[in-house]
Amino acid sequence: MVPGVSLANYPDSDFLSLAARDQGSLFGVELGFADTTSPFTLLSGLYFPEDVNLAAGLGMGTFKYADFFLTTNVVVARVTSASMEIEQDTPSALLIYRVNASNLSSHAKTRLLTTLEAADAAFANGQCAAGLRYLQVFQNKVRAQLTKTDSVLANHLLSGAQAIIDAGCAN
């Protein structure tokens, strides 16, 4: 049992595994979900957590407590319900994380982050309409900078910004 988050997109199934154990301990826990019914919809990509559809893997969801070798010392509980909501401190926090974690040049990151930080500052000051405009500017920058070089990241950034825009100023 190796600690970490694993996303696996196989031709015949999708898997999500979240494993943890204390350093030096032979025992750990694993929360796992699997989707073996075509079309597979547990994972829509390899971005965690936004590409995960827990409901699709719930039928084969398990919570295990086991030794490192997963031999006879295993306790398995069937997971019967699960939900997930992404929590963030600011509307653009997940977008900021994605830009910072990307392979973009520091100059490209700075251009995108400046716009996202301006959006969050506007939201924090009660200027929602201005914050939404900054997100539209961010989308234009993503289209210009990333669409041809990293379409997967571009799609995540564009859809993440669009979700905030679609929520509007009511939230």
DSSP H helices, 47-127, are 54-57, 93-101, 106-124
Phi then psi for residue 33, to 5 deg, are -135, 145
Distance between CA atoms of 84 and 68, rounded to whole angstroms? Answer: 27
What integer pLDDT is reported at residue 21 of this predicted model?
Answer: 84
Instruction: Output the CA torsion 111→87→46→92 (10° steps).
Output: -10
- Taking the chain (171 residues) in runs of 10, the rounded mean pLDDT of each run is 82 92 84 93 85 91 82 86 87 94 93 97 95 97 91 93 89 56
